[in-house]
Amino acid sequence: MTNYEIMFIIDPTLEEEKKNATVEKVQEIIKTGEGEVSNVDVWGMKKLAYPIEKKNEGYYVVIEFQAGIELPKELDRRLKISDNVMRHMIINKDAK
């Protein structure tokens, strides 16, 4: 299993329940893809470096996890079509 880290920015206009549900949904995708979540770090509301979808703030979340090589591809696909996630980035922490 490879170590990965995903950072995603959730739409700041969503209600707190929907933000938490989005974080839970990402964790569930990882767990059903035979991955293992090791750390969830919610940064909360932060100012964006540049406006995204006419918004100047975003709700940041970082999740560290271990998984096989296929899970990040599926996670990337699902987050691209999510209306709640404005941006995301998956990093392979084992790559040199």
Beta bridge partners of 7: 62, 89
Listed by start position, the domains of the chain span 13-89
Residue 38 has pLDDT above 70, yes or no: yes
Query: What's the pLDDT tens digit per position in 39-63?
Result: 999 999 999 999 998 999 999 999 9
Count of CB atoms situated within 10 Å of the CB of 45: 11
**Residue 1: its pLDDT value, please?**
87
pTM of the model: 0.90
Q: Could you tell me whether strands 36-52 and 2-10 are parallel, antiparallel, or unpaired per DSSP bridges? A: unpaired
CB 47 within 8 A of CB 56: yes
Distances (CA, A) of 80 to 74, 75, 85: 10, 9, 8
pLDDT score, position 96: 63
Each residue's pLDDT tens digit, 61-95: 999 999 998 999 999 999 999 999 999 999 999 87
How far is the first Cα of the chain from the last one, in angstroms, to the nearest whole number? 16
The CA distance from 84 to 69, in Å, is: 25
Given this model, what pLDDT does residue 95 score? 73
Indicate the range of 7-11, 32-36, 48-52, 59-63 predicted with least confidence.
32-36
Would you identify the CATH topology of the domain 13-89? Alpha-Beta Plaits (3.30.70)
